Chains A and B, each alone.
With several copies, the nearest count.
Chain A
């Protein structure tokens, strides 16, 4: 498998968006196609200090569903990385 599998969209929200400095980036699907690897690469690249976040540090959604990190990615998937929510 290679990185020619395609691109996925990564969205940031809230304090993480501010820390990263942009709201959206496109990244290549990693060789193992795993969401976990993709998120780890993104977080490393954008230098977000996860330790600054409260509780579970950050939440990951895939295609607008909160999900486990072991999901497999497909081209054009939409990943979102955000801090614990504070609505209501």
Chain B
């Protein structure tokens, strides 16, 4: 099982987590969650908001492909990825990944794998909005290195 949601509304982590746990209860021994939060400062410069641009359908597809790979690599009970797009205030969650598995090793590996590839393979573009302007974020070599180490 897996679910992908792209949304402009804030992520209701609590409801999502509760519903996720309900679905795997009894089977699952381990649930790992990752929340990516918009930092207030990026290299000492205050971030008012992030703007995330997406490519409808292709963005969802790209996330499904990552999740499918995770399900091929590990024995998982359920996965959920929620990614916000549009304007996102600092301190809000930009992305949430939930992975349920019978055993913790699989849940940790798959959750980290998914967020690593969300950074490099999801069709999304991030722009930082400061009080005096804005700038598109450049992709990071370190992110590509992290994705590569799974190969």
Contacts and interface: CB of A to CB of B under 8 A. Distances in A.
Contacts of A17: 53
Interface size range on B against A: 20 to 34
Nearest to A64: B58
Interface residues on A, range: 10 to 19
Contacts, number: 69
B55 A87 contact: no
B15 interface: no
Contacts of B136: 14-15, 18, 83, 86
B95 A86 contact: no
A16 to B, nearest CB: 9
A interface secondary structure, majority: loop
Given A84-B139, A85-B120, A86-B139, A14 B125 contact: yes
B5 to A, nearest CB: 14
A11 interface: yes
A86 B137 contact: yes
A14 B59 CA distance: 13
A86 B83 CA distance: 12
